[in-house]
Chains A and B, each alone.
Chain A
Amino acid sequence: MTATDHAAHGDHHEDHHALPLWMLVGTWGALMGLTLLTVFSAQFDLGAFDLPIAMGIATIKAMLVLLIFMHLGFDKGFHSLLIFGSLLFVFLFISFTLMDRGQYQGDITVKDSEKLLSD
């Protein structure tokens, strides 16, 4: 395919365009910085905020990888729909199971204590 063909097809081929090097290296720098940040923040006991902060930083890193390294920011929308849609199903799976388990955990704890008492 010649260069003119390429241009003529216009926005069909955005994913054939190479990302500039500064963007790749910059993303790498940001990822390394965030890794240091998350290790650093884990030194402190922030109580209930520990997990949300760690997950928040991980999610920012994940978005950087997805959008830039994996070209999702410059790619067809359907690919984003696929991957983010799959996260919705992961969320459903984990949240329903967690909810149910949380609801019947009380019964298990009672059984456990009975077992301990009988031992």
Chain B
Amino acid sequence: MTQVDVPVIAPDRPVQHLDHNYINHSKGILSWLLTLDHKRIGLMYLAGISASFFLGGLFAMAIRLELFAPGMQFMSAEQYNQVFTLHGAVMVFLFIIPGIPAALGNVVLPLMLGAKDVAFPRLNLGSFYLWISGAGFFVYTLLTKGLDTGWTFYTPYSTTGNNTAVISATFGVFLLGFSSIFTGLNFLVTIHKMRPPGMTWHKLPLFLWGMYGTAIMQILATPVLGITLLLLIMESTLGIGIFDPNKGGDPVLYQHFFWFYSHPAVYIMILPAMAVISEVIAAFSRKHIFGYRMIAYSSVSIALLSFLVWGHHMFVSSESTLATLIFSAITFSIAIPSAIKVFNWLATLYKGSVALNTPMLYALEFIWLFTIGGLTGLFLAVLSTDVALHDTYFVVAHFHYVMVGGTLFAFFAGLHYWWPKMTGKMYSETSSRLGSIVAFIGFNLAFFPQFIMGSRGMPRRYADYKPDFELFHQLSSVGTAILGVGLAIVAYSLVRSLFSGKKAPANPWGSATIEWECPSPPPHHNFDHPPAATDPYDMERVEWNEEVGGYVPVQGYRPVVHH
């Protein structure tokens, strides 16, 4: 290992840039494909999930074009079934679940700990290749076969008829599941064992608390998905009969198995998003996060409670009355930790000196969208209303508000927040802000009308509809187009920054977490010595320095001791 050429550090001004960083540390395609460096693996994930997001987005556009007018436009009903299935499966398994933990988490998590790498770098690379193979099976299914079961692969539909597509797709999901498990396992051990001196559990940045909760769910829930899909493959190939009512099996059992994973998976999607938002809100309010411990504990309690609510997906799937009552009651209780987070973010904003940079815009949009998504979830937790709303566009709008409005917007918040650290370049605030606002408007226009038509009885997954719903569908389609334009502006702004963005300082936003103490982009080994950890939200610790165009640590600063 050659020593990284660190210039002598001037006491009042830490190194801002290094000529020799992790991006140009070694050259050649193999130095990326075989890298054990968590930052490079994170960037490769970022490229992969961006491609998946683009693919899933194309399917979304196709759905909205087809639904622009009543009657069939350019697809057959079978093609429509395949397109919405692939949209859901690609977005959920290839983009949302790995999005924040694998792409952003991989880059940021060890940096935040002041560590040189994750605990198991080879396993980390292995997770990436599992992800690639899983994605490969998906693309193969997409190109050669029609998968039309919906992303949930419900039996008996998935085990009868043309099910070779189900086999290759579920095997892909099986591999993606193990990718997710190993990422979670890696992060859990890293957070436990690689913390720097002085970073006690109560000085852990909230992003790491969120990743910790996510890791718990990935470790405990995802294996059940693995065995469920294995049984589904056995059912499709051999006909073992466990899920097949024609052979004395029970198709509802499949739903129990599937949702025991997939409900926690919903929180695998949203918990990292909340974790990003906690960081961004604090950094751009220039204020200590409000209710640190409540936010931290609510992450873990969401992780644990998420295992107790899976039955609320099955209220109308012949679930017994006793079980529906229990699951409905517990579902309400999971709103509490989510609300705790929202209130604490609002309290952090209160009297903060709020800077509306791009990440902050996304974070504020997140609060708006997630609150709508979360509150409409309560309508679905009520047994009586769920019977009417189940399988309508109300459900579609609800989970898009949570999964897209929540996770996607938080992903962009995190991407813009850490972009200078990851790439060493500043993007144009003007174009990025514009993209963010256009996407926000487009998103609301696309999905708010779906609440209305859902409550009026428009069923989901239908290729055709009555003319009464035409206006809402057209608003929704126009909104999707605007959302697409917004995302294109976002992508343009980020890509342009790679070529013509100005060099990023080490700490452009004034955050107090450790990852901003190393230069942008970081060197191969991140830190020469593990930095001492302090309160991650003590914003007084850093001050603006005109010369470097960023924030630098205050010399001789002594933190105020809180009692």
A92 & B256 in contact (Cβ 8 Å cutoff): no
CB < 8 Å neighbour of B323 from A89, A92, A96, A108 = A96
B311 contacts chain A at the CB level, 8 A cutoff: yes
Q: How far is the CA of A103 from the CA of B324 in the complex (A)?
A: 11
B220 & A103 in contact (Cβ 8 Å cutoff): no
Q: Which residues of B contact A99 (CB under 8 A)?
A: 320, 322-323
A103 & B322 in contact (Cβ 8 Å cutoff): yes
A104 & B224 in contact (Cβ 8 Å cutoff): no
A59 contacts chain B at the CB level, 8 A cutoff: no
On whether A104 and B319 interact (CB within 8 A), knowing A89-B220, A92-B307, the answer reads: yes
Contact bitstring A59-76, B, C-beta under 8 A = 1, else 0: 000000000000000000
From residue B303, how far is it (CB to closest CB) to chain A in Å? 11
On whether A103 and B307 interact (CB within 8 A), knowing A93-B224, A97-B253, the answer reads: no
B253 & A101 in contact (Cβ 8 Å cutoff): yes
Query: Residue on A with the closest CB to B319?
Result: A100
A11 contacts chain B at the CB level, 8 A cutoff: no
A100 & B311 in contact (Cβ 8 Å cutoff): yes
On whether A101 and B318 interact (CB within 8 A), knowing A89-B307, A92-B307, A92-B308, the answer reads: no
Contact bitstring B244-258, A, C-beta under 8 A = 1, else 0: 000000101100110
Tell me whether chain A's interface is mostly helix, strand or loop, or mixed.
helix
B252 & A104 in contact (Cβ 8 Å cutoff): yes
On whether A86 and B308 interact (CB within 8 A), knowing A97-B253, A101-B253, A104-B318, the answer reads: no
The number of chain A residues touching the other chain, given as a range, is 10 to 19
B321 & A103 in contact (Cβ 8 Å cutoff): yes
From residue A114, how far is it (CB to closest CB) to chain B in Å? 13
A107 contacts chain B at the CB level, 8 A cutoff: yes
B323 & A86 in contact (Cβ 8 Å cutoff): no
Q: Which residues of B contact A97 (CB under 8 A)?
A: 253, 256-257, 260
Cross-chain pair count, CB within 8 angstroms:
40
Q: How far is the CA of A96 from the CA of B319 in the complex (A)?
A: 11
A96 & B311 in contact (Cβ 8 Å cutoff): yes
From residue A43, how far is it (CB to closest CB) to chain B in Å? 30
Q: Which residues of B contact A89 (CB under 8 A)?
A: 220, 307
From residue B260, how far is it (CB to closest CB) to chain A in Å? 5
From residue B246, how far is it (CB to closest CB) to chain A in Å? 10
From residue A81, how far is it (CB to closest CB) to chain B in Å? 12
- Which one of A78, A89, A99, A100 has the greatest number of beta carbons of chain B within 10 Å? A100
From residue B139, how far is it (CB to closest CB) to chain A in Å? 33
Q: Which residues of A contact B308 (CB under 8 A)?
A: 92
Query: Residue on B with the closest CB to A106?
Result: B320
Q: Which residues of B contact A96 (CB under 8 A)?
A: 256, 311, 323, 326
Contact bitstring A79-95, B, C-beta under 8 A = 1, else 0: 00000001001001100
Q: Which residues of B contact A104 (CB under 8 A)?
A: 252, 318-320
Q: Which residues of B contact A108 (CB under 8 A)?
A: 250
Contact bitstring B294-321, A, C-beta under 8 A = 1, else 0: 0000000000000110010000001111
B224 & A100 in contact (Cβ 8 Å cutoff): no
Query: Residue on B with the closest CB to A78?
Result: B192
Q: How far is the CA of A106 from the CA of B130 in the complex (A)?
A: 43
From residue A70, how far is it (CB to closest CB) to chain B in Å? 18
Q: Which residues of B contact A107 (CB under 8 A)?
A: 318
From residue A109, how far is it (CB to closest CB) to chain B in Å? 12
Q: How far is the CA of A92 from the CA of B319 in the complex (A)?
A: 17
CB < 8 Å neighbour of A101 from B224, B250, B260, B307 = B250
Query: Residue on A with the closest CB to B260?
Result: A93
Query: Residue on A with the closest CB to B322?
Result: A103
Q: Which residues of A contact B220 (CB under 8 A)?
A: 86, 89
B260 & A103 in contact (Cβ 8 Å cutoff): no
Q: Which residues of A contact B250 (CB under 8 A)?
A: 101, 108
Q: How far is the CA of A99 from the CA of B308 in the complex (A)?
A: 14
B260 & A100 in contact (Cβ 8 Å cutoff): no
Q: Which residues of B contact A103 (CB under 8 A)?
A: 320-323
From residue A10, how far is it (CB to closest CB) to chain B in Å? 19
Query: Residue on A with the closest CB to B318?
Result: A104
Q: How far is the CA of A81 from the CA of B192 in the complex (A)?
A: 14
On whether A100 and B307 interact (CB within 8 A), knowing A89-B220, A107-B318, the answer reads: no
Contact bitstring B222-249, A, C-beta under 8 A = 1, else 0: 0010000000000000000000000000
Q: How far is the CA of A99 from the CA of B513 in the complex (A)?
A: 47
Q: How far is the CA of A92 from the CA of B318 in the complex (A)?
A: 20
Q: Which residues of A contact B260 (CB under 8 A)?
A: 93, 97
Q: Which residues of A contact B253 (CB under 8 A)?
A: 97, 101
From residue B433, how far is it (CB to closest CB) to chain A in Å? 44
Query: Residue on B with the closest CB to A86?
Result: B220
Query: Residue on B with the closest CB to A107?
Result: B318
Q: How far is the CA of A9 from the CA of B249 in the complex (A)?
A: 57
Q: How far is the CA of A78 from the CA of B192 in the complex (A)?
A: 11
Q: Which residues of A contact B318 (CB under 8 A)?
A: 104, 107
Q: How far is the CA of A23 from the CA of B210 in the complex (A)?
A: 42
Contact bitstring A99-119, B, C-beta under 8 A = 1, else 0: 111011001100000000000
Query: Residue on A with the closest CB to B219?
Result: A86
Q: Which residues of B contact A93 (CB under 8 A)?
A: 224, 260, 307
From residue B396, how far is it (CB to closest CB) to chain A in Å? 26
Q: Which residues of A contact B321 (CB under 8 A)?
A: 103
Q: Which residues of A contact B322 (CB under 8 A)?
A: 99-100, 103
Q: How far is the CA of A89 from the CA of B311 in the complex (A)?
A: 15
Q: Which residues of A contact B319 (CB under 8 A)?
A: 100, 104
Q: How far is the CA of A97 from the CA of B307 in the complex (A)?
A: 13
Q: Mark A residues whose CB is within 8 Å of B.
A: 78, 86, 89, 92-93, 96-97, 99-101, 103-104, 107-108
Q: Could you list some 14 contacts between A and B, CB below 8 A? A: A86-B220, A89-B307, A93-B224, A93-B307, A96-B256, A97-B260, A100-B256, A100-B319, A100-B322, A103-B320, A103-B323, A104-B252, A104-B319, A104-B320
Could you list 18 further interchain pairs (A-B, Cβ under 8 angstroms) beyond the known A99-B323, A104-B320? A86-B220, A92-B308, A93-B224, A97-B253, A97-B256, A97-B257, A100-B311, A100-B319, A100-B320, A100-B323, A101-B250, A101-B253, A101-B256, A103-B320, A103-B321, A104-B252, A107-B318, A108-B250
Top 3 closest pairs, chain A to chain B, by CB: A103-B320, A100-B323, A97-B256
